[in-house]
Amino acid sequence: MWQAEEVRTRLAALYPGAAINVLAVPAPAQRGTARATATAAERAAMIRDLEAAIADGHADLAVHSLKNLTSDVAPGFTIAGITAREDPRDAFVSRRYASLRDLPAGATIGTSSMRREAQLRERFPDLAVRLLRGDIESRLRLLDAGRCDALVIAAASLKRAGHGSRITSLLEADESLPAPGQGALAIECRSDRRDIVAALAPLADPATTIATTAERAFSRTLCGTGTGAAPVAAYAKWEEGALWLRGLVASASGDGVLRGERDAEVADADGAMALGQALADELLLRGAARLLAS
Same domain, 148 and 66: no
**Is the distance from CB of 292 to CB of 249 less than 8 angstroms?**
yes
- Among the residue ranges 37-41, 96-100, 111-115, 200-204, the one predicted with the least confidence is 37-41
Same domain, 48 and 125: no
- Starting at the edge strand found earlier in the chain, the sheet holding 169-171 runs 128-131, 108-111, 150-154, 90-93, 169-171
DSSP 164: G
Banded model confidence at residue 46, pLDDT cuts 50, 70, 90: confident
Mean of the per-residue pLDDT values for the chain? 90
Mean pLDDT of all residues in 44-49: 86
* Per-residue pLDDT, 33: 41
**What CATH number is attached to the domain comprising 63?**
3.30.160.40
Question: Does residue 294 belong to any structural domain of this protein?
Answer: no
Same domain, 119 and 249: no
Number of domains making up the chain? 2
Question: Does residue 218 belong to any structural domain of this protein?
Answer: yes
| Boundary residue ending a domain (171, 195, 218) | 171
Give the chain's radius of gyration (CA, Å): 19
Same domain, 196 and 151: no
Range of the domain at 248: 2-86+180-286
